[in-house]
């Protein structure tokens, strides 16, 4: 059975802190892993990772995948209150089936 | 990027009635769309994969007779919750898979609609 575990479940930090969110997975026919940010509505896309060891960056956010150890991390540096959201990772199984983790709820305090 | 819309944004209905939710890809054609359900403080659970011109593929535990999916065109999929009950109250999100380029940027991923909040009284 496919399994995705995100940790921590919830995190409260102060503005300016750096956070690391973890995603471990066991998925048949793994193809890629995606990270999403969900505020009040539908998730918004952050990253798609397909290769091990290659860091993807977008501003203060970065992410990397380890296909041997079956995990990915999402880093956010110099956090801001606008980063408060639920962060979801979704490894893909087969061609396009996304399997979402439970998410990490991040709250950034001013 | 590619835009997906959903209608309605929220709906309140009485127990026993049926509710139809539409999912449209606005600026691209999608042969494959997906329907997810999300309960409060939980993650997105895939309900079914909707394929244009053919029957939907349902995930284990999802009743196909209760959640009717129709993907009649390359830009529209509908989810009908039949004989809705309070336990069907949830946030329903669709996504559409897009593989191609828009404004010289390449995509190969699902784009999500804004979601529909269903409350069944």
Taking every pair of Cα atoms in chain B, the longest distance, rounded to a whole number of angstroms, is 48
Residue A41: its pLDDT value, please?
A: 81
CA gap B8, A72 in Å, rounded: 35
Residue B93 burial (C-beta neighbours within 10 Å; 0-12, 13-18, 19+) = buried
If you count residue pairs, one on A and one on B, with CB atoms under 8 Å apart, how many are there?
40
CA pseudo-torsion sign B9, B29, B58, A24: negative
Interface mutation target, options A42, A49, A92, chain B, most CBs of B under 10 Å: A42
DSSP B72-99: EETTEEEEEE-S--GGG-EEEEEEEEEE
Contact between chains at A96 and B32 (C-beta distance less than 8 A):
yes
Q: Are A49 and A63 a contacting pair, CB within 8 Å?
A: yes
Q: How far is CA B80 from CA A37, A70, B47, B66, B92, in A?
A: 27, 37, 12, 8, 11
Residues on chain A touching B110 (C-beta within 8 angstroms): 96, 98
DSSP A52-65: TT--EEETTEEEEE
Give the minimum alpha-carbon distance from B58 to chain A in angstroms, rounded to a whole number: 12
Average confidence (pLDDT) over A10-15: 96
pLDDT band at B89; cut points 50, 70, 90 = very high
Q: Is the pLDDT of residue B108 over 80?
A: no
Contact between chains at B43 and A88 (C-beta distance less than 8 A):
yes
Q: Is B29 helix (H, G, I), strand (E, B) or coil?
A: coil
CA neighbours closer than 13 Å in the CB half-sphere of residue A6: 27
Contact between chains at B46 and A98 (C-beta distance less than 8 A):
yes
pLDDT in tens, B35-59: 999 998 888 999 999 888 888 999 9
Residue B6: its pLDDT value, please?
A: 96
A58 touching B (Cβ < 8 Å): no
Contact between chains at A41 and B114 (C-beta distance less than 8 A):
yes
Give the minimum alpha-carbon distance from B117 to chain A in angstroms, rounded to a whole number: 10
B40 vs A106, higher pLDDT = A106
Residues on chain A touching B114 (C-beta within 8 angstroms): 41-42
A21 touching B (Cβ < 8 Å): no
A91 touching B (Cβ < 8 Å): no
Provide the phi-psi class of A31: left if phi over 0, else alpha when psi is between -120 and 50, else beta: alpha
A40 vs B61, higher pLDDT = B61
pLDDT band at B1; cut points 50, 70, 90 = low
Q: Is the pLDDT of residue A40 over 90?
A: no
């Amino acid at each position: 059975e496919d399994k995705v575990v995100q940790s921590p479940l919830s995190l409260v930090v102060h503005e300016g802190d750096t956070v690391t969110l973890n995603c471990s997975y066991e998925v048949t026919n793994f193809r890629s892993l995606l990270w999403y940010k969900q505020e009040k509505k539908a998730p918004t896309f952050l990253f798609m990772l397909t290769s091990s060891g290659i860091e993807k960056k977008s501003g203060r956010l970065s992410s990397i995948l380890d296909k041997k150890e079956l995990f990915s991390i999402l880093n956010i540096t110099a956090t801001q209150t606008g980063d408060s959201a639920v962060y979801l990772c979704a490894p893909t199984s087969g061609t396009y089936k996304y399997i979402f983790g439970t998410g990490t709820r991040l709250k950034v305090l001013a | 990027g590619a835009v997906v819309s959903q209608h309605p944004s929220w709906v309140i209905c009485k127990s026993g009635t049926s509710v139809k939710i539409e999912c449209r890809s606005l600026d691209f054609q999608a042969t494959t769309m997906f329907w997810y359900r999300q309960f409060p403080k939980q993650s997105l659970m895939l309900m079914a994969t909707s394929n244009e011109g053919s029957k939907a593929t349902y995930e284990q535990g999802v009743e196909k007779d209760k959640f009717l999916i129709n993907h009649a065109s390359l830009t529209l999929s509908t989810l009908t919750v039949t004989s809705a009950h309070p336990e069907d109250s949830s946030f329903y999100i669709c996504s559409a898979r897009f593989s191609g380029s828009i404004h010289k940027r390449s995509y190969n991923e699902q784009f999500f609609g804004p979601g529909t909040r269903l409350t069944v009284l």
